[in-house]
Amino acid sequence: MALPPLDSPQWHTSFRAFLWGARSIGATVLTLVLFATYLGIGALAHDSGFSLGWTLASTAFVWAGPAQIIVITTLGSGATVLQSAIAVTVSAIRLFPMVVSVLPMMRTEQTKRRHLILVAHLTAVTLWVECFRFLPQVPRNRRIAFIHGLGCGLVTVCLIANTIGYMLAANLTPLFAAGMLMLTPLAFLFSTARNCRELADVIALVLGLLLFPLAAMLNSGVDILVSGVVAGTIAYGVHRARAGIVGARA
């Protein structure tokens, strides 16, 4: 699907721009990945004992796959609310730089901060990636409407996927139910691997995978935080050391 040219009358109203945004969910393979991920989250929530309404509320109001999985797995395995909240908030720090880098792409002189609240809410890794791809093809004064359309379209797809995953987990044979639960780690592993831009990201991913089983032996209730901070800091240290070597050579 191609978007209309920048000077097309299609961009004259915000409503049309919203519809073009919503239609653009059909133009990206990431929609399929999101669908699979949220199918898995629906199944995970079912098997962890949460209601369907709770699951849909978590998708609509949290709108961040990792945070949702942390809440479901930690609360489901008996962690306290505080432990879950800490793990969620650390995982969500990455949203800060995403929001910071996305908003300037759609700001105009007339834009007030409140116009950007929904865009900030909708910002997550998929939308963030798609902004860089789609927005250059959208006139600046219609970008907020376009992103509202794209974001609401993606949320709708995920709510449907949640419902299907939840229903299927309740009714599938154990074999296929296991397959649905496996969608989450696979989809997250590969989308994270794809997003690795620098050596620090690669090291953080690999060490994070390897250190978790060790941290889990501590049985601290915040094992994910322990392995995450340790692995992330080592990765950052390697990044610094490497920058130092390159800097010394230059």
Partner 1 sequence: MSGFIGDWHALAILFVAGVIPNQIWRMLGLWFGGGIDENSELLVWVRAVATAILAGIIAQIVVQPPGALASVPDWLRYGAVAAGFVVFMLARKSIFAGVIAGEIVMIAGKYWLG
Residue 233 found at the interface with partner 1 (CB under 8 A): yes
Selected from 90, 105, 157, 167, the binder of partner 1 by CB under 8 A is 90
Q: What letter represents residue 18's amino acid?
A: F
Here the tokens at position 230 are 């340790």
Q: Would you call 202 exposed, middle or buried from its count of C-beta atoms within 10 A (0-12, 13-18, 19+)?
A: middle
To partner 1, the closest distance from the beta carbon of 11 in angstroms equals 25
Write each residue from 39 to 78 as x if it is in contact with partner 1 (CB under 8 A), else as -, in one continuous string: ----xx-xxx-xxxxx--xx--xx-x-xxxxxx-xxxxx-
Both tokens of 204, joined, read: 């953080």
Tell me the per-residue interface mask from 92 to 111 with partner 1, x by CB under 8 A, - otherwise: xxxxxxxxxx-x--------
Name the minimum Å distance from CB 25 to partner 1: 15
Q: How far is the CB of 170 from partner 1 (least distance, A)?
A: 11
> Which residue, 141 or 163, is less far from partner 1 as judged by CB?
163
The footprint of partner 1 on residues 127-166 (CB under 8 A) is none
Q: Smallest distance, Å, CB 242 to partner 1? A: 12
Q: Which residues contact 229 (CB under 8 A, 6 or more apart)?
A: 90
Helix (H, G, I), strand (E, B) or coil at 193: helix
- At position 81, the amino acid (one-letter code) is V
Instruction: Tell me the two tokens of residue 37.
Output: 């991920």
Between the two ends of the chain, the Cα-to-Cα distance in Å is 46
The token duo for 66 is: 């990792």
The string of DSSP letters for 55-88 reads HHHHHHHT--HHHHHHHHHHHHTT--HHHHHHHH
Examine residue 26 and tell whether it contacts partner 1 (CB under 8 A): no
Q: Which window, 14-22, 138-146, 149-157, 215-223, contacts partner 1 (CB under 8 A)?
A: 215-223
- 3-class SS at 8? coil
Within positions 171 to 210, which residues make up the interface with partner 1, using CB under 8 A? 174-194, 196, 198, 200-201, 203-210
Would you say 101 or 156 has its CB closer to partner 1?
A: 101
Q: Given candidates 6, 32, 241, 245, which one binds partner 1 under the rule CB under 8 A?
A: 32
Is 69:184 a contact under the CB 8 Å cutoff? yes
- Check binding of 10 to partner 1 (CB under 8 A): no
